[in-house]
Structure formats: C-alpha cells, structure tokens
Amino acid sequence: MAMLLGVRPNLDQLAQLPDFWIKVGFVACICLAAWQASSRLCLPGAATRALPLLVAMPLLLMWTLGAIVMQEAPPGQRAELFWGATWRSCPLLIAMLSLPILAAVLRCMRELAPTRLRLAGAAAGFAAGGGAALVYCLHCPELAASFVGFWYVLGMLVPTAIGAAIGPKVLAW
C-alpha cells in the first residue's frame, strides 16, 4: 500500500483527530472479529454460535454512529459525509489490497481442517478485507463514520464474496 498509494502526508495531523481513531478502531475491531471467526471455522467442533454477534457488533456500532452523525449534520453537509471525495476508489482499493491477504489466509486455513468451507472462505475474505482496510486507513483522507461504515464495508465485502465463492474448492481436504 505504501509503495502503490503512499501514506497520507498529513497523517500526524489526522492522528490528532478522534474521528481518525474511530475509523482505525472500527477496522481493527473488524479485523479481530474476522480473524476470530476464521480461526474458529478452521477447527472442527469449535464453538461458533457467538461469531455472528462478534462480527456484527463493530458494524452495528459504526452504522449507529454514522446515522447519528448524519442526523445531526446540517442537510447541506449530509451528502458530503456519506459520499466523501473518494467513494469511487475506496472500495476498489480495499478490495485490491485484500487479494494477497486473502490468498495467504486461505493457504493457512487449508493446512487446518475447516468443515464449513463456504463459510470459512467468507470469513477468510472478511478477515482479508478488514486487514486491507486497516492498512488503507493510512492512505485514506475520509473520516466520516457514515463514509467508513458504508464504503469501507463495501470494499471488505468484495473479498468476502470471493472467499465464499472459492472456499469450497480451495479449502477442500
């Protein structure tokens, strides 16, 4: 990411803003939840009942924050808070950055014993998307919760779908 896109030159200034840390915290929580889901889905018989809630919690919190921010914003600023300036490139860049991570995660998962192959592939994709989004935070100028909660998640869903599609073939043992 640093070689292809570069790190924000004003990252030190952005790091002083609470919104920056909300964005980083959100994608870090997504990463942790997705990695936990991926790990559990690689172990036959592991408890997985709490995984949907674990993955959903950061999403629901960010979407709630985004809705509050949008509601409190003047009507003329709402579109800017949602669309930002990078909505066209953000999901694509996150998806592209996730592909090498997805390949590595699937390779590691293949060495274990996943039994729910489509779900394990989706979890691997979501973990890869979360990791890519975490790295992408160092480049992206957008800070609005509504932007991050939609466009970042859209970028994370691309490798999730890819993982679900190829999981049964790649993870079969």
Mean pLDDT, the chain, rounded, equals 93
User: Residue 113: what pLDDT?
Assistant: 87
Q: What is the pLDDT of residue 1?
A: 67
pLDDT for res 8: 79
Q: By the 8 A CB rule, do 69 and 84 touch?
A: no
CA dist., res. 104 & res. 141, Å (int)? 28
What whole-number distance in Å separates Cα of residue 105 and Cα of residue 122? Answer: 11
69/121 Cα distance (integer angstroms): 34
Please compute the mean of the pLDDT values over residues 62-80 and round it to a whole number. Answer: 96
Burial pattern 1-34, b for ≥16 Cβ within 10 A else e, equals: beeebeebeeeeebeeeeebebbbebbbbbbebb
Q: Please tell me the predicted confidence (pLDDT) of residue 11.
A: 81
CA-CA distance, 132 to 1, in Å (whole number)? 9
Question: Domain residue spans in the chain?
Answer: 14-170
